[in-house]
Amino acid sequence: MQEKEYYTIEDFIQVVKELRGENGCPWDKKQTHESLIPCLVEESGEVVEAIEHHDMQNLEEELGDVLLQVVMHARIAEERGDFNFSDVVDGVCRKMIRRHPHVFGNETFSTREEQLSSCRKIKELEKIEKKRKARELAENKE
């Protein structure tokens, strides 16, 4: 990849793809979801530490390291045919829109407690739907 003045998320996804590609980095190429767990834990802890110390310069860097973990896991999943980064983004957008009907819909709440209650109900419905889909998937495999 050529040097640029400013990189985008698309550039970053391509960087990770190249790191894991045929001519990529041997370390990056051999990583799995499981082998990256310690890295994700460490990087998440470093984000917390930067926040606690109000170190915005370090926070920016550490958030990038967490983003690397997200993109790397999405790339591994894509290589396996499970999902890709766009699916992750689509899923989290849908979740945030669904869980915030007071922002993205016509729902209104009189109190914070009503809003939290609504969010809990939505999460419970999501769990039910996830279990239903898992059952259907299992039945279709048989």
State the CB neighbour count (10 A cutoff) for residue 88: 16
Total count of residues recorded for the chain: 142
Span 109-131, pLDDT tens digits:
999 999 999 999 999 999 999 99
**Integer angstrom CA distances of residue 122 from 32, 99, 100:** 32, 6, 9
* DSSP symbols for 102-142: HHHSS---SSHHHHHHHHHHHHHHHHHHHHHHHHHHHHHH-
What would the pLDDT profile of 31-85 be if each residue is shown by its tens digit?
999 999 999 999 999 999 999 999 999 999 999 999 999 999 999 999 999 999 9
pTM for this one? 0.87
Each residue of 74-114: pLDDT tens digit?
999 999 999 999 999 999 999 999 999 999 999 999 999 99
Write down the pLDDT at residue 31: 98
